[in-house]
Amino acid sequence: MTRHLVRQGISSAVPVVLGYLPLGFAFGVLAHGAGLSIPEIFAMSLLVYAGSAQFIAIALLQSGAGFLTIVVTTFLVNLRHLLFSASLAPFLKRVRVSRLAALAYQITDESFAVALGHFTKHEAEEKFLWGLFPACQLGWTLSTVLGAWAGNLIPHPEAFGLNYALTAMFICLLVFQLQDKFTYLAALTGGILALAIYVWLPGRWNIILATVVAATLGVGVEQWKKST
């Protein structure tokens, strides 16, 4: 039974891995172009394992941002993973905390969606996740390493549009998040604030400050609307 659940998790990971391949390849090429070695790219994909955060970190490195800016920015981007873990926790009440922490480390947007969809239709089993999550991470890590290796053969990745991968990915993420007037308000406020702070405040804190202010405003307005 255990092996069956693990195999089922691995098979469920196939569509996710197929989606990771081109994006991970693009990241590997861009990271190599930013000066990271193949072992460094491998370690980043293994330890950080967050596509959007990794793209942001590379962009910030290229722009000359400091260590603290990179850490805080990627932390804010990945805060949604707390919600992912909290959503799956009720299905795994009998699992020890140490194993839950290991599983939570491997959650991504896509693997979370697959796991939640499976648990709403089938009995929640921890073993399924031990097939799904590692398979997804393996696919992402190998694709980034492959891209890093290919970066040695692609001296000008911008000629293939690979340098646009980060921008395209965040445009897609933004569009998917625009679901109601509150998210539109937060997005518009964040964009305006980021530009204004960039012009008037020295340094590279504009995105962090704009994100915090816009998100707080969006939540505040939504709560006020519910209470009226």
What's the pLDDT tens digit per position in 172-224? 667 766 777 777 877 888 888 888 888 887 666 676 777 777 777 776 776 77
Number of H helices, E strands in the chain: 11, 0
Plot region of 161 (φ>0 → left; ψ -120 to 50 → alpha; else → beta): left
Q: How far apart are the first and last CA of the chain?
A: 52
Q: What is the pLDDT of residue 119?
A: 87
For residue 2, the model assigns a pLDDT of 72
Q: 70-116: per-residue pLDDT in tens? A: 888 888 778 778 878 888 888 888 888 888 889 888 998 888 888 88
| Structure letter (DSSP) for residue 198 | H
CB distance 57 to 176 below 8 Å: no
Model confidence, pTM = 0.72
CB 133 within 8 A of CB 103: yes
Neighbours of 23 (CB within 10 A): 20
- Burial code of 182-207, b = ≥16 C-beta within 10 A, e = fewer? beeebbebbeebbeebbeeeeebbbb
**Which residue in 102, 166, 107, 104 sits closest to 136, CA to CA?**
107
Q: Which two tokens stand for residue 18?
A: 């197929």
- Domain regions of the chain by residue span: 2-162, 178-227
Q: For residues 138 and 132, is the Cβ–Cβ distance under 8 A?
A: no
Question: What is the pLDDT at residue 42?
Answer: 95
Side chain identity at 225, as an amino acid letter? K
- Contact between 28 and 144 under an 8 Å Cβ cutoff? The reply is yes
